[in-house]
Amino acid sequence: MKKIAILHGPNLDRLGRRQPEIYGTATLKDLEKLIRTEARRLGFTVTFFQSAHEGALVDRIHSLSDRGVDAFIVNFGAYSHTSIALRDALEAASRPAVEVHISDIKKREKFRRESMTAGACLAMISGKGFPGYIEALRLLAGI
């Protein structure tokens, strides 16, 4: 059974309250329930981690890869646009990763349109809301 780690960066814990016109009214717990249901259907086990701290996310990537996680789905939030450290951690993990963004980063502010971390991922899914995570799971099921 494949083990998939879902990592969320800053402000994702504010889903449901933060800019509902962009991110909707569902919460991170709602998202986790949706992911868990589809993962079970695909035969995956999933773990979830959210932190507003870049170093905590780096440490979690290292520890999960050391413990044998098979793949990552990541939404590093604002760190996606700035963090060489998270990109390096994903590359060092040598595991497939898919980056997901709830909103379409190409239609956001100029500083959000490029992802620093996507280069360490086999795909980036952007602008599909919560279903983007399901697409990421299905993509990982195919490898």
38-85 pLDDT, tens digit each: 999 999 999 999 999 999 999 999 999 999 999 999 999 999 999 999
> What is the Cα–Cα distance from 130 to 64, expressed in whole angstroms?
23
So what's the pLDDT on residue 23? 85
96-141 pLDDT, tens digit each: 999 999 999 888 878 778 999 999 999 999 999 999 999 999 999 9
Q: Mean pLDDT throughout 31-41?
A: 97
CB contact at 8 A, 130 and 102: yes
Through-space distance between the first and last CA atoms of the chain, rounded to whole angstroms:
13
Which positions are catalytic?
23, 101
β-bridge partners, 46: 4
> What is the Cα–Cα distance from 39 to 83, expressed in whole angstroms?
28
pLDDT over 90 percentage in the chain: 85
Query: Which architecture characterizes domain 3-141 according to CATH?
Result: 3-Layer(aba) Sandwich (3.40)
